[in-house]
Amino acid sequence: MARIQRDYSNNGFYGIGIMHGKHDHNIGTLWRSAYIMGASFIFTLGRAYKPQTSDVVSTWTRIPLFHYDDINDLKKHLPYSTRMIAVELDEKSHALETYEHPERAVYVLGNEKNGLPEPVLAACHDIVQLPGSFSLNVAVAGSIVLYDIVAKRERTLPQ
């Protein structure tokens, strides 16, 4: 399965993860997208990940899979000068379509039942929201964010 090749003249990296993910097939699907779309790492918050068959590339064997206890633990271990971006339906959010992704960022998604709690939204530097007023499946939402990062980076790469 082909993966997006990183262009190292284009600096930056991104990681993506989920807080208290409930369904392993969703998490596995998200990891598969993350690997293919060029994420540098993946992570879980609060609930550790058990390998799951929807991650057909076994992403955790290819890029680091980190586990953090909670958002404070993630913040404490955040790579230097890296932004924490919550992905959530929220009135304080930026629309994904017009959002300029930071060069170094981690994206945090909420779980299928409860979404991201207010303290997590408050701890993040930015919140981004996808179009529509209903929640998407978490793996779908994460995959769209990943695609948006890639599409915008491709547009700014030197020709």
Ligand X SMILES: C[S@@+](CC[C@H](N)C(=O)[O-])C[C@H]1O[C@@H](n2cnc3c(N)ncnc32)[C@H](O)[C@@H]1O
Q: What distance lies between CA 95 and its chain's CA centroid? A: 16
DSSP single-letter state for residue 135: P
Cβ–Cβ < 8 Å for 36, 11? no
Binding-site member from 34, 37, 71, 141 for ligand X (CB under 6 A): 141
Binders of ligand X among 41-100, rule CB under 6 A? Answer: 87-89
3-state secondary structure of 113: coil
Taking phi first (over 0 means left), then psi (-120 to 50 degrees means alpha), and beta for anything else, what does residue 8 get?
A: alpha
Options 33-41, 44-52, 69-77, 113-121: segment touching ligand X (CB under 6 A)? 113-121
Binding-site member from 11, 81, 100, 132 for ligand X (CB under 6 A): 132
Q: How many residues bind ligand X (CB under 6 A)?
A: 17
In the complex, the residues that contact ligand X under the rule CB under 6 A are 87-89, 109-110, 112-116, 129-130, 132, 135-136, 138, 141
